[in-house]
Amino acid sequence: MRRSTFLCPKPSIVGCTLSPNEILSTLNDFIVGQTKAKRAVAVALRNRWRRRNIKDTELQSSIVPKNILMVGPTGVGKTEISRRMAKLTDAPFLKVEATKYTEVGFKGKDVDSIIEDLYTVAKSCARKQLEKGLDAEADATVATAIIRLLMEKRALLEPDAKALLDSGAAEDIDVSFDLTVFEEPRSRKLGEMQRDGISFDLLSADESSHKPIIKKPVTMKVKDARKSLKEEELRRLVSQQAVEQLALQLTEEEGIVFIDEIDKVIVNPSHRSKDMSAEGVQQDLLPIIEGTTVTTKDNVAIKTDSILFICSGAFHMVKPADMIAELQGRLPIRVELEALTEADFYHILTTPKYNLLRQHQAMLRAEAINLTFDDDAVREIAKAAKDINHNAQNIGARRLYTVLEHVMESYSYEVEKYRGTTVQLTKASVEAAVSIFRAKADLAKYLL
């Protein structure tokens, strides 16, 4: 008996349908400030929707994304803006560091692997999209299968088994069935396999993944069987070929690549001869950002013309103008992100939907501790982060993690002492917690 898979209908790419103002408003829920950068990505995202709605196919194919260069210190939101942008449209998103790549002929990763990695991400996105469209069908099939298993287990009639399942009373009943699973390819012929003293019947070989499928007898509770059977059913409904077809489309039309630390492969013109490999990385990035065809190891040809590239860097030691001219031309939208102020730190602590204070409150609530913050305490945390960034290395909003963990250290560790109580943080308690921390940061500027 052979299992059959079929190609499910390939959904058309919808992408983000929000207006630029709506995109900006959504980004404001998670990221404080940096309006220029958020406006730039909002327009880039909307331009994709506009391009898809152009009826003239020749005109549509000639429109390419306007790639973006973000310039700003670490920890100010460059990566988070791009990541949140990708989530709005469920687009394949890949973040890489430019320093991991080297010029062809040098030891290191080839820049073409960026596109191959993006395609891998896209396959995961594609499977989720295809499975989402078949979710209801899979649930119905699984429910029918579980009803049949309950009839066999309890010798019930179908209406009684259905009523037992619908009431929720069947969740902890053990049922036995044959679960089909994928195994890594082996040199053994199809037929019977034996492992750990158990014989398995090989059903077929999945032609697209080249992994044999075996039937394995299992026993589990209904609540666990439901998940396993649904995963199996979705694998049956969604073929690997359909996944790869949609993944290719998503990569080419919706893919977003965020290249961080681009300034680290740029050298000062006066020192250019000292690091030719770095300049070689810039040269190698040119074709994939401008538009070329990259062939993966699996022989999939991917066009990069419509992939959106967002590059970023702090540019402390070099300037964007130090990039080779061709690369500058392929990053026509340049936005500068501002260093965070004390007011920004305060808003980061209080404004985003899942801000750091709310996260700490939820974590301690799991320990039966009610955590509250005075407004003056929050402002003192923001001030401490600003001061330490000024006196030590400026790591942007990440400094808030350091300060908050220091403030929360005793409460997080001595949970038995505070369980069942309300802990209220005040300005004085924050000052006491960070006083030694601040002193070390002040001292650091006098040390070699």
Q: What is the pLDDT of residues 383-394, one digit of tens each?
A: 998 888 887 778
DSSP class per residue in 82-140 = HHHHHHHHT--EEEEEGGGB--TTSSSB-TTHHHHHHHHHHHHHHHHHHHHHTHHHHHH
pLDDT tops 90 at residue 114: yes
SS (H, E, C) 205-230: EECCCCEEEEEEEEEEEHHHHHHHHH
Mean pLDDT, residues 352-377 taken together: 91
User: Residue 77 domain-assigned?
Assistant: yes
User: Residue 407 domain-assigned?
Assistant: yes
pLDDT tops 90 at residue 152: no
Mean pLDDT, residues 337-357 taken together: 87
Dig out the tokens for 128 from the structure: 């989720």
Domain boundary among 212, 237, 262: 237
Dig out the tokens for 282 from the structure: 């810039």
What is the reported pLDDT for 203? 44
User: Residue 438 domain-assigned?
Assistant: yes
Domain boundary among 309, 336, 363: 336
Mean pLDDT, residues 333-354 taken together: 88
- Whether 209 and 250 share a structural domain: no
User: Residue 170 domain-assigned?
Assistant: yes
Mention every residue, 6+ apart, whose C-beta is less than 8 A from residue 36.
335, 336, 337
- Whether 348 and 306 share a structural domain: no
Q: pLDDT by residue (tens digit) across 117-151?
A: 999 999 999 999 999 889 899 999 999 999 999 88
- Whether 104 and 252 share a structural domain: yes
CA gap 246, 126 in Å, rounded: 6
Mention every residue, 6+ apart, whose C-beta is less than 8 A from residue 372.
361, 422, 423, 424, 425
* Counted domains in the chain: 3
Residue 82 belongs to a domain with what CATH number? 3.40.50.300
User: Residue 214 domain-assigned?
Assistant: yes
Confidence of residue 276 (pLDDT cuts 50, 70, 90): low
Q: pLDDT by residue (tens digit) across 51-88?
A: 988 999 899 888 889 999 999 888 888 888 888 888 88
Mention every residue, 6+ apart, whose C-beta is less than 8 A from residue 366.
none
Provide the β-strand partners of residue 95.
Answer: 258
Confidence of residue 367 (pLDDT cuts 50, 70, 90): very high
Q: pLDDT by residue (tens digit) across 167-203?
A: 888 889 888 888 887 655 544 444 444 444 444 444 4
What is the reported pLDDT for 90? 80
370-373/422-425 β-pairing: parallel
Q: Which residue has the tokens 């298993």?
A: 149
SS (H, E, C) 23-35: HHHHHHCCCCCCH
- Whether 269 and 331 share a structural domain: yes
Q: How far apart are the first and last CA of the chain?
A: 75
* Residue 16 region by backbone torsions, left for phi larger than 0, else alpha for psi between -120 and 50, else beta: beta
- Whether 229 and 376 share a structural domain: no
Q: Which residues of 206-239 are buried (b: 16+ CB within 10 A; e: fewer)?
A: beeeebbbbeeeeebebeebbebbbebbbbbbbb
What is each CA distance from 216 to 65, 142, 171, in whole angstroms? 49, 17, 22
Q: pLDDT by residue (tens digit) across 400-447?
A: 888 898 888 888 898 899 999 999 999 998 888 888 766 665 544 433
- Whether 112 and 255 share a structural domain: yes
- Whether 356 and 402 share a structural domain: yes
CA gap 175, 32 in Å, rounded: 52
- Whether 120 and 256 share a structural domain: yes
What is the reported pLDDT for 360? 92
- Whether 123 and 255 share a structural domain: yes
Exposed/middle/buried for residue 121 (C-beta within 10 Å: 0-12, 13-18, 19+): buried
**pTM (2 decimals)?**
0.76
pLDDT tops 90 at residue 247: yes
User: Residue 396 domain-assigned?
Assistant: yes
- Whether 419 and 438 share a structural domain: yes
Q: Widest CA span of the chain, in angstroms?
A: 85
Range of the structural domain that residue 422 is part of: 342-444
* Residue 94 region by backbone torsions, left for phi larger than 0, else alpha for psi between -120 and 50, else beta: beta
- Whether 312 and 359 share a structural domain: no
Give alpha helix (H) positions in 155-215: 158-166
Mean pLDDT, residues 259-282 taken together: 75
Mean pLDDT, residues 365-387 taken together: 92
- Are 389 and 399 within 8 A, CB to CB? yes
Confidence of residue 245 (pLDDT cuts 50, 70, 90): very high
What is the reported pLDDT for 214? 78
CA gap 335, 349 in Å, rounded: 25
What is the reported pLDDT for 275? 56
Q: pLDDT by residue (tens digit) across 277-331?
A: 667 888 889 999 999 999 998 899 999 999 999 999 988 888 999 888 899 999 9
- Whether 294 and 420 share a structural domain: no
Domain boundary among 336, 363, 387: 336
User: Residue 366 domain-assigned?
Assistant: yes
CA gap 13, 252 in Å, rounded: 11
Confidence of residue 94 (pLDDT cuts 50, 70, 90): very high
Closest CA to 403 of 435, 426, 371: 435
User: Residue 6 domain-assigned?
Assistant: no
Provide the β-strand partners of residue 198.
Answer: 195
